[in-house]
Amino acid sequence: MSDTSDSINKGPVSTEPVAASWKDCIYRQREELARMLREPLALLANKCIAHWGDREALNAVLLSGFSSIPYCTHLYVLGGNATQISDNIGAGGVVAGHFARNRAERPYMQEAMPAWGFLLSDAYVGLATHRPSLTALQVVVSGSGTLGYLGADFDLRGLPVTSALYHEPEDWRQVKGDPAIRSTLFQQSRTESPMDRNMAVALSILEELLTERGVFQCQIHFSSSQATIWTIDDPMRYRILDHEVLTDPDICLVYPPRAYPDDATIPPEDIERILRAMQALRTVDTTIYLRTASVNVVNGMVSLTFSCDGSHYMRYDEFLAKGPAFWTGPSA
């Protein structure tokens, strides 16, 4: 049996150009935000030097400069020990309750300050808002040395998205499941479900829905005898087909005929092959067997979750190229 529970393993390395990953998109987004913030924060920090130690004067500087920091929710000034020496300044003015607050334990104060004196922190969950946030810190330096920091907080909801959404990678991935399930794997045996007893009818219905009735994604729960489907007519809502539905071909009358999606990755003639291959993995072994599977005709991805709770994600053609022997053979 293939090790369906390795933490995250990848299949053969492709020689095709690699699309931007989610990490690439985060990096680009952060670079653009830093570019927008670095200069105005440095200018405002310089204006704070002459008023260092004067709470009211620092508040006045931050109030006058607040509009120059795009998308900012709060500005404040910290001494060298991370204790706040100004109030918080927001779009509505002074926000009381933060003067003399020590921020030394906050996530952005734990990060290493770059040599150029500007830091855009990693995102964190805000204490007051309980929402994803980030902070920009600008070191304030006078002729006598470092005085402290100018801080600017940002709510991720208010920040512009400057990087295109990444594409989900298509390489084969395996994800480890629940250790408690893995530890008792060989103490369990597959119990025939109602779907198992009527598999031919259930899969024929699902093939019809996927190829002729506008269903573009289907998740099949073999053990609980149900399927969850998404349609091109109503993609934001899923529908659950229980065992009773999956034994009645009349259900196809409920879903109007729809042309197969033009942007589908999976050819319609391969849908039956995919479903039959999933059926084979469900019944090939009584100990290690398929519990849940999904197929998306648009992105061409197939997912498999086995009785050991390990999950696989791969392209449909790679899945079809791996027969049952791959999953159950002695070298797997």
What is the mean pLDDT for each group of 10 consecutive residues in the chain (332 residues)? 38 45 82 92 96 96 96 95 95 93 93 94 89 95 93 91 70 73 67 90 96 97 95 96 94 95 96 95 83 95 87 93 71 37
Give domain 22-158's CATH architecture.
2-Layer Sandwich (3.30)
Q: What is the pLDDT of residue 37?
A: 94
Count other Cβ atoms within 10 Å, centred on residue 58. Answer: 24
Q: What is the pLDDT of residue 331?
A: 37
Residue 30 near residue 135 (C-beta atoms within 8 A):
no
* Rounded-to-integer distance, Cα 62 and Cα 150, Å: 10
Give this prediction's pTM.
Answer: 0.70
Q: What is the pLDDT of residue 167?
A: 74
Range(s) within the chain of domains with CATH label 3.30.450.20: 22-158
The 10 Å CB-count burial string (b at 16+, else e) for 280-297 is: ebbebbeebbbbbbbbbb
User: Among 2, 3, 5, which residue's Cα sits nearest to residue 310?
Assistant: 5
Amino acid at 302: V
Residue 58 and residue 217: Cα distance in Å, rounded? Answer: 57
* Confidence at residue 141, expressed as pLDDT on a 0 to 100 scale: 95
How close are the terminal C-alpha atoms of the chain, in Å? 5
Check residue 285 and give its pLDDT.
Answer: 78
In angstroms, the CA 315 to CA 73 distance is: 43
